[in-house]
Amino acid sequence: MKIHEYQAKAIFAQFGIPVPKGRVAATPAEARAIAQELGGKAVVKAQVYAGGRGKAGGVKVVASPQEAEQVAERLLGKPLVTHQTGPQGVVVRRVLVEEATAIQKELYLSVVIDRARQCPVMMASEAGGVDIEEVAAKTPEKILRQPIDPIAGFQLYMGRRLAAGMNIPANLARPAGALMESLYKVFSARDCSLAEINPLVITADGRVLALDAKLNFDDNALFRQAEVKGLQDYSEDDPLEVEASKAGITYIKLDGTVGCMVNGAGLAMATMDAVLLMGARPANFLDVGGGASHQQVQEAFKIIMKDPSVDRVLINVFGGILRCDIVATGVIEAARELGGVRVPMVVRMQGTNRDEGKRMLAASGLKVALADDLKEAARAVVAAKK
């Protein structure tokens, strides 16, 4: 789950990370009033989940409340296209109006999980700002990495090491180290998958300040992060993913054409691999879950069929707690509701009530190819022509 910059900055403030003074506005008039409160000079920043706003004209320094209003007028209600949004862009619904900062230097700081080391790692660079991707690609040695033992937590020496490696002046090493420790605390206490400050700036008057803020959260921890969950805004998510999440189905849209309906995350991954091995690409990851009802299967099937890029479907079920006849009922009900299935369908069923499930599908009048093992099923679906 993602949140907006202004929300991330509010969390930063709770943890003692210095952020610029400012507030969020939904109308140009509000933006003007906030700029007025801040003394006239301000920065107006489009609030969208995508990064790359600076280069796309989504971040503007303004010299007066009037100008803040004009910039807000230009941004609000219109799509912002950045290198992370795709060509259609994302509609800006809010802008953050902040006091303008005179910048001496732009640095980079983040915490992510290092899967290879199996622990959080703090990444830092003295070359922060809008070109960090280029720094990572061309001069990766400019990015420092500090693994953090999750039991011991962030240590003072780590802050000193990173601050020195980032060429932070000695008199700022202490506040910079404190800021790093706080960022790690946010990451750990809020179950983040990413906590990033880019740029972390040294201001002209010699302070460290988080000028940008990005927090992503581990969806599996949201049950214990009520405050974070309350910030969830579905308007920027894929509509089919939102629909699936409301139905309790794990669904992730991908770029291929083979719609996959599977029970169990591991089996879903194996199914996607099998499709890829046979030479086609999955349109989605979909796990209906172990104890799905036929209504959930029905919802899942409808979600797959709503994706216009799907040109064939592979249903792979290993009946355990979820019985094969339940899956058959769900698929048949969905097909009835949709007035038929517009693409070729291959079904592989094994496990509890397999024969009953297969009999139901065969008797349904739907055009289904039945298969017994996964390889055979994947081969059949890849060979199926629309």
Tokens of 123: 């990444």
Task: State the binding partner of 120 from Mn ion, ligand GDP, none, CB within 5 to 8 A by kind.
Answer: none
Give how many residues touch Mn ion by CB under 5 A. 2
196 is catalytic: yes
Closest to 233 in 3D by CA, of 58, 329, 90: 90
Task: State the binding partner of 94 from ligand GDP, Mn ion, none, CB within 5 to 8 A by kind.
Answer: none
Is residue 212 at the binding interface for Mn ion, with CB under 5 A as the rule?
yes
In the complex, which residue's CB is closest to ligand GDP? 54
Catalytic residue among 108, 181, 251, 299: 108
Catalytic residue among 106, 196, 251, 299: 196
Task: Provide the CB-side half-sphere exposure for 164 (13 A, CA).
Answer: 7
Rounded to a whole number of angstroms, the minimum distance from the CB of residue 47 to Mn ion is: 13
Q: Considering only residues 7, 198, 296, 353, which one is a binding residue for Mn ion as defined by CB under 5 A?
A: 198
Instruction: Phi first, then psi: give them for residue 318, nearest 5 degrees.
Output: -110, 105
Is residue 106 at the binding interface for Mn ion, with CB under 5 A as the rule?
no
Rounded to a whole number of angstroms, the minimum distance from the CB of residue 43 to ligand GDP is: 4
Indicate the residue among 199 and 330 with the shorter CB distance to ligand GDP.
199
Stretch of 63-71, 150-158, 167-175, 209-217 contacting Mn ion, by CB under 5 A:
209-217
Indicate the residue among 199 and 357 with the shorter CB distance to ligand GDP.
199
Task: Provide the CB-side half-sphere exposure for 248 (13 A, CA).
Answer: 11
Dist. CA 160–CA 171, nearest whole Å: 12
Task: State the binding partner of 177 from Mn ion, ligand GDP, none, CB within 5 to 8 A by kind.
Answer: none
Q: What's the longest Cα–Cα distance across the chain?
A: 78
Rounded to a whole number of angstroms, the minimum distance from the CB of residue 318 to ligand GDP is: 44
234 is catalytic: no
* DSSP label at residue 9: H
Rounded to a whole number of angstroms, the minimum distance from the CB of residue 45 to ligand GDP is: 6
Rounded to a whole number of angstroms, the minimum distance from the CB of residue 130 to ligand GDP is: 5
> Dihedral sign, CA of 337, 340, 342, 348?
positive
Task: State the binding partner of 52 from ligand GDP, Mn ion, none, CB within 5 to 8 A by kind.
Answer: ligand GDP
Closest to 196 in 3D by CA, of 23, 6, 43, 8: 8
> Dihedral sign, CA of 297, 303, 304, 305?
positive
Indicate the residue among 95 and 346 with the shorter CB distance to Mn ion.
95
Dist. CA 384–CA 320, nearest whole Å: 28
Indicate the residue among 47 and 198 with the shorter CB distance to Mn ion.
198
Indicate the residue among 47 and 329 with the shorter CB distance to ligand GDP.
47
Q: Which residues of 222-260 are buried (b: 16+ CB within 10 A; e: fewer)?
A: eeebeebeebeeeeeeeebbebbeebebbbebbebbbbb
Closest to 265 in 3D by CA, of 241, 290, 246, 244: 290
Indicate the residue among 84 and 155 with the shorter CB distance to ligand GDP.
84
Specify the amino acid at residue 166: M
- Residues near ligand GDP (CB under 6 A) are 43, 45, 51-54, 59, 61, 100-101, 103, 106, 129-130, 198-199, 211-212
Rounded to a whole number of angstroms, the minimum distance from the CB of residue 55 to ligand GDP is: 6
Length of the chain: 386
By annotation, the residues acting in catalysis are: 108, 196
**For binding to Mn ion (CB under 5 A), which residues are involved?**
198, 212
